[in-house]
Amino acid sequence: MSEWWTYRPSDFLLFSPQTYYRLFELYNTQIWPLQILTLACGVTILVLIRYNPPWQGRVIAAILATIWLWVAWAYHLQRYASINWAANYFAIGFAIEAALLIWIGIIKDHLVFLAAKSTLKNTGLGIFLFALFIQPLLGAVAGRGWLQSEIFGVAPDPTAVATLGIILLTTKKFYGLLLLIPFLWCAISGTILFTMDSPDALVLPIVAILALFLALRKAN
């Protein structure tokens, strides 16, 4: 790309905010009541984190991997790609995250979660709960209507945020591999929302920076 310094994020925005949010409206309508199942998956993760069964890591990784694959296919490839050709690449990124979760969490069984209470665990849980229960409400608060809600396991933003929260809850000092794609997605989606002047544009960058800060602190 020549004269790259003259480009701004708005030069790459291919669609209007109306079209973008209408995509969620149609998507939510078409897959209903799958949202209940994905929210139930989120609650299952919460229960597993609370009771720490020995197979918790494998099950949480399986749930998350399935959800990342679903979002890659149902959202990015089947819907978002119709208005944004870059969504094909986003789908690959989401599929890679699913593969990493399968490899690290299911095959290697390396996802072990913090048992003791700590500030880190509380914040990680807070981020996960935010993605599960607060993020879907943001659209309505911003005046977009319930049908355009972005729900964990259905839409990419709460899925990425929830995953950041979950990874912070693991005992391993730093899971850069698993954090990278959710973090990148928060940056990409935050930029798109910011370019569209969405009132909730700052949510993703703030959560991602908080998660990164905590991950780095945990590593040290």
Using CB under 8 A, list all residues that contact other proteins.
2-3, 6, 10-11, 13-16, 19, 22-23, 26, 79, 82-85
Q: Which of 64, 102, 100, 94 is nearest to 76 (CA)?
A: 94
Q: Which is nearer to other proteins, 3 or 51 (CB)?
A: 3
Q: Which is nearer to other proteins, 23 or 64 (CB)?
A: 23
At its nearest, how many Å lie between other proteins and the CB of residue 79? 7
> Taking the CB of residue 7, how many other CB atoms lie within 10 A of it?
10
At its nearest, how many Å lie between other proteins and the CB of residue 155? 16
Q: Which is nearer to other proteins, 7 or 146 (CB)?
A: 7
Q: Which is nearer to other proteins, 44 or 82 (CB)?
A: 82
Q: What are the residues facing 194 on neighbouring strands?
A: none
The three state secondary structure string of 148-174 is HCCCCCCCHHHHHHHHHHHHHCECCCC
At its nearest, how many Å lie between other proteins and the CB of residue 7? 8
At its nearest, how many Å lie between other proteins and the CB of residue 12? 10
Identity of the residue numbered 116: A
At its nearest, how many Å lie between other proteins and the CB of residue 19? 5
- Cα 155 to the center of its chain, rounded Å: 8
SS3 state of residue 79: coil
Q: Which is nearer to other proteins, 10 or 52 (CB)?
A: 10
At its nearest, how many Å lie between other proteins and the CB of residue 6? 6
Q: What separation in angstroms does the CA of 53 have from each of 77, 81, 95, 115, 175?
A: 35, 39, 27, 11, 21
Q: Which is nearer to other proteins, 24 or 70 (CB)?
A: 24
Q: Which of 103, 94, 70, 79 is nearest to 22 (CA)?
A: 79
> Taking the CB of residue 29, how many other CB atoms lie within 10 A of it?
9
